[in-house]
Every structure is written in structure tokens, then in C-alpha cells.
Chains A and B, each alone.
Chain A
């Protein structure tokens, strides 16, 4: 047996999966069952006490979901992962392990609009207080740190404009503050950026987007980098203190560098309940097998479309980090050399009305609230994903009234450009 690190595409196909023990089935079976039979009373007690490896109940773990978890952990370079029902569910589960009521976390202002809502309203009602910082101004993160800060949250490629975040600079702030850095890597996928290589302690994804990739299944995942020491000062009691739910087990002591993923499973998923359907896990796994092929095509198409738009007389500006003159091009070259993703925004000289007109005239682009589909998608963030923000916050998060967001699919780029041309020109 040689110790050799397989390439990304090999991991995308194989990691976590092997032929089924009983049937020899080569594709990962869908274990569509709620529960699993115990060998005997002692086996049951060992499983419930976290003392043995194995399955109990699909709300806590499922063999199909476990393949997905190991595969994404391998692709991200993490020690373990936990799949849940959606990206939003993943965020709840993560912060439940880190924050007590009255605590704070710092979040980049440029985020998916749904995350901004979740942090501002739902999390506030739990007593988890978000403090906003500007990802283009690293010092704003340093200034936001207080003794109650428990985590920093950023997106690698940020919604909606596809801007690139300086992960290493912010990880330095997190390290100095003694808190974990959480990176939402949804828009990049590990094919373009592996945040753990740049200092992330926890990676979160909406699997619904590029990882699943086909717009057919919701899912979320949490990846533990295995890098953060949870044992200091009782700052993270869910991990460092004896857990009464499990007869006084200390998770960090027992599980070492994958204790965070275990905490998310046995304290988060078990008690909050947002389990992923094994059927969705199967669909997402099938999507991941072609991630490297799809992601490259998404990026190549996006660059071609962005270049076309940048040269069009009706277009006021294009925000795509893959363009040589873009504000984020230097960061894109550093963090995402294979491509700057496939989600970006542009604004029209005709403002809000021109945006609405464009969306209505497009024939191939679908007008809907998702990204990371095989199909090309279009939306007007100010009236949809970011509509709950006030006007100033819309502009700050890159979703002003004249902005249109595209998610470029894997169709032929000539057809996408022709569709945009007819919709802009007529």
C-alpha cells in the first residue's frame, strides 16, 4: 500500500464510497430507512453512548449520507463532515455549537441575502448577535472583535457580485482573536477554492448549488478542518465540557480533531432535527462525480459571457472577478486560478426598468431564485433575494436597484451570448 494523494477528480468519484458490503452494488445505494437494527442490547447501548461506530436512526446518521459526508470532507481537505437538510440548516447547527445567548459573531457584509436575513432576524431571536464587517476592509473585522466574539463568518466567493474574499487575511484576524473562521464555500466549490488551505477552521456549503449542481435537491454540509483547539478556557463548552446528554463525555477529548463535526451531529442534528433525505444525498453524490468537469465549463462560460457584457453598449458595468480590470482580479488569481466562479452581477445603463425588461425577454436564462444549476439563471436581487434589506444595505451588499445577477450554466456559450444579445438589443 503506497501513501499517495489521489487527484481531485479521483476523489470526486471515489472518496467515501465502496461497493456495498452485502450486495456488491457499485453505485452508492439509497438507504431509505428511518432506523437500523442493533446486534444486541450492549451494541445498542454502545451506539447511543457514542462508544461504537454504527447507525442508529437517520436523524443522526445514514449510510448514504455518510458517503456524501466523507466525499465532501475529502474534497475540502477536512477531517470530517456532517450533511444536513439545507445550507441554512448547516448555519444554525454550526452556530449552536459555538454561541451561547448573548454571544456575538462577526459576519462579512457581502453575503447571500438569505444568510443576511437569517443572521439579522432568526439568530438575533436566539440571542446570537451578528456584528457586520466589510470584507474589503480587513481592519473592520479587527475592530469588531469583543470578548463575546465566538466566530467569524465569510463567503469565499461572495454573493451576489462574485467578489473574492481575502480568506488568509481574515483567518489571521480570527487566529489572533482565538475564534474559528467559518467560510461559506458554496459559490466556489472545493474545485475552485479550498478554504482550509487558506486558514478556514469550518467550511459550510449549500449542496443545493454547484456540488449537487443540477437544481434538483436541497442539502447543506458542514466540514470540520480539524484545526481549531476547542479546549481553551471553557470558551466553547459544547466541545470542552462534560456533556450531560452523553454521560459526561467531553467531545474534544474523545474525538480529537473531528470533535466539531461530531458535536454538530450528536448535539446539533440530533436535537434540532434538520436531517438530509438519503435520496437527496444520492442525487447530490451523483452530481459531485462530475463537479470538476462542470465547474470548469461553468467558469469558462461565465468568463465569455462577462467579456461579452463588458463590451455591450447597454451595459453600465460588470462585476466579475475573472475580468482582468475587475477590482477583485488580483484576489481571483491568488485564490481561484482555475476560474472566478459562475455567479456575477452587471448593471444596465437603463437602470431598474431595463433590468426588468431584460429578465422578461430572455429565452434560455431562467428567472428564478437559485444559483449553481446546469441551466443558466437570472434574477434581479433588489426585488427578490435581497428585497428585505433597506436601500442602503442593498447597495452595500452589491444588490442595488440597477443590478442583475447571472448564474451561468453549462450550455454552449454562443447560445447564452445570443440570448443576452437579443434581450439587450430589442
Chain B
């Protein structure tokens, strides 16, 4: 996978197929991005599992925190890592010990570790880096268009009225996929400069 520019079909396929998401680094502080990404994905119908060793014994929106991926005790489809790039590798290494393996490892906006990604991909796991699943879901459903964001999708069908707990259709016509060419180039240059 080219991690500088993801085709929409790749992201759409992931968001349409995964049902359970373990979020590593989920925060109970309601102004942290991990908190509201967790909340949004739960509202859109995903089975969310908060992973954070500092909050075991507490709940996040009714879901009990677990200390680590191996404590989940049931199969998960996707692991969403809300940690800095330097903390990605140990999480991926732990994910690779799970049985069954997760189908997807997703690293949040700003997080990228190509070596960890290669390791996961070598055993057939799909990897997304430096993206936010909330933003991607909002983009592909066009819900994010309410904020003037270029969804890079088109549709001549009647728009849905999003309500709590409702899954939205992500099957709009895509305009080339992922981010704009210019922003993809800028991200690539930044990666190359280290």
C-alpha cells in the first residue's frame, strides 16, 4: 500500500467492513481528540473498546477500559492507535500476538511508523497511517461537508439526515480518493525530510 495517498475504495472498504474497534490511548478527558473520535464512532454503530492502562476500572461512555490489547479477551477487527509515532511499534508488536489477528491497524492523524506498517502488512493486516477514522467517515458520508470540508465525493442521491446511532452510506462517487494531490505531496515531503 502506498501510504502517501490512499484510494477512497481502500478506506471505504475498511470502514464498511470492520465492526469492532479497539482504541489504544483512548482518553476519558472530553476535550481530547481521542475522546470525541471514540464517541463519534460509537454513535455511528461501531463496537468500541477503550484501551488505556491508566484508566482500568473506569468506563468510557459505558465501555470498560482495558489495560492492553491482550486483555480484550475477544477478537477485534481494527486497532486504532492514538499514540505518537514513537510509541507505535510496541502496540503493533502486541497486536501481532493476538489470535485471531486484527484485520486493520489504523494510526491516527500525525502518527506514522513505516517499519511497523510493513511488519503488519507482511502478515496480511491492512494499515492506514496519519488519518482519523472520524474524519474519513465524515468525509465519505459527506457529513463533514457541513464544515466546508472538501469531501472529494459527489452524489445525486438524496442526502441522509444523520441521527444518533445511524450508520451512513459511504458509497458516494469518489473524486480520485484520499486527500487532495497537493496535501498528499506536502505530507510526503514532510515524511521524506524526517
Tell me the A residues contacting B by CB distance below 8 Å. 1-6, 10-11, 14-16, 18-22, 24, 39, 46, 49, 51-55, 61, 63, 65-67, 69-70, 73-74, 77-83, 196-197, 225-229, 246-249, 253-258, 261-262, 265
The 7 closest A-B pairs by CB, nearest first: A226-B183, A69-B148, A51-B36, A73-B150, A227-B186, A5-B176, A247-B31
Residues A70 and B149 in contact, CB atoms below 8 Å apart: yes
- The minimal Cβ–Cβ distance linking A251 to chain B, given in whole angstroms, is 11
Residues A79 and B180 in contact, CB atoms below 8 Å apart: yes
Assuming the A-B contacts A197-B182, A256-B132, are A80 and B148 also in contact, with contact meaning beta carbons closer than 8 angstroms in the complex? Answer: yes
- The minimal Cβ–Cβ distance linking B163 to chain A, given in whole angstroms, is 8
In-complex Cβ contact of A78 among B8, B155, B180, B187 (8 A): B180
Tell me if B55 counts as interface (CB < 8 A to partner A). Answer: no
- The minimal Cβ–Cβ distance linking A7 to chain B, given in whole angstroms, is 10
A-B contact pairs, 18 of them (CB 8 A): A2-B173, A4-B175, A15-B175, A19-B158, A21-B158, A22-B161, A49-B30, A66-B146, A67-B145, A77-B182, A80-B148, A81-B148, A196-B182, A225-B180, A226-B180, A254-B109, A255-B135, A258-B149
Near A by CB (< 8 A), chain B positions 28-76 give: 30-31, 33, 35-36, 39-40
Residues A226 and B154 in contact, CB atoms below 8 Å apart: no
State in angstroms the CA–CA spacing of A228 and B110 once bound together: 13
State in angstroms the CA–CA spacing of A257 and B148 once bound together: 13
Interface string of B161-177 (1 = CB under 8 A from A): 10110000001111111
Tell me the B residues contacting A by CB distance below 8 Å. 7-9, 12, 30-31, 33, 35-36, 39-40, 109-110, 130, 132, 135, 138, 142-152, 154-161, 163-164, 171-177, 179-183, 185-187, 190
Residues B183 and A257 in contact, CB atoms below 8 Å apart: yes
- The minimal Cβ–Cβ distance linking A69 to chain B, given in whole angstroms, is 3
Assuming the A-B contacts A20-B159, A24-B158, are A61 and B175 also in contact, with contact meaning beta carbons closer than 8 angstroms in the complex? Answer: no
State in angstroms the CA–CA spacing of A1 and B10 once bound together: 11
- List residues of chain B with CB within 8 A of the CB of A227: 182-183, 185-186
Residues A49 and B148 in contact, CB atoms below 8 Å apart: no
In-complex Cβ contact of A66 among B39, B147, B154 (8 A): B147
Chain B residue with Cβ nearest A83: B148
Residues B154 and A6 in contact, CB atoms below 8 Å apart: yes
Residues B174 and A1 in contact, CB atoms below 8 Å apart: yes
Assuming the A-B contacts A54-B146, A61-B147, A80-B149, are A15 and B39 also in contact, with contact meaning beta carbons closer than 8 angstroms in the complex? Answer: no
Residues B161 and A66 in contact, CB atoms below 8 Å apart: no
State in angstroms the CA–CA spacing of A320 and B161 once bound together: 50
- List residues of chain B with CB within 8 A of the CB of A82: 148
- List residues of chain A with CB within 8 A of the CB of B152: 74
- List residues of chain A with CB within 8 A of the CB of B130: 256
In-complex Cβ contact of A14 among B156, B159, B160, B179 (8 A): B156
Known: A3-B177, A53-B138. 16 other contacts (CB 8 A): A2-B174, A6-B154, A6-B175, A18-B142, A19-B157, A46-B39, A53-B143, A69-B148, A70-B145, A78-B150, A79-B149, A79-B150, A83-B148, A225-B180, A256-B110, A258-B150
Chain B residue with Cβ nearest A73: B150
State in angstroms the CA–CA spacing of A248 and B31 once bound together: 7
- List residues of chain B with CB within 8 A of the CB of A10: 154
Between A20, A53, A74, A228, the greatest number of chain B beta carbons within 10 A of the residue's beta carbon is seen for A53
Chain B residue with Cβ nearest A228: B186
State in angstroms the CA–CA spacing of A20 and B158 once bound together: 6
Chain A residue with Cβ nearest B43: A52
- List residues of chain B with CB within 8 A of the CB of A15: 150, 154, 175
Residues A53 and B146 in contact, CB atoms below 8 Å apart: yes
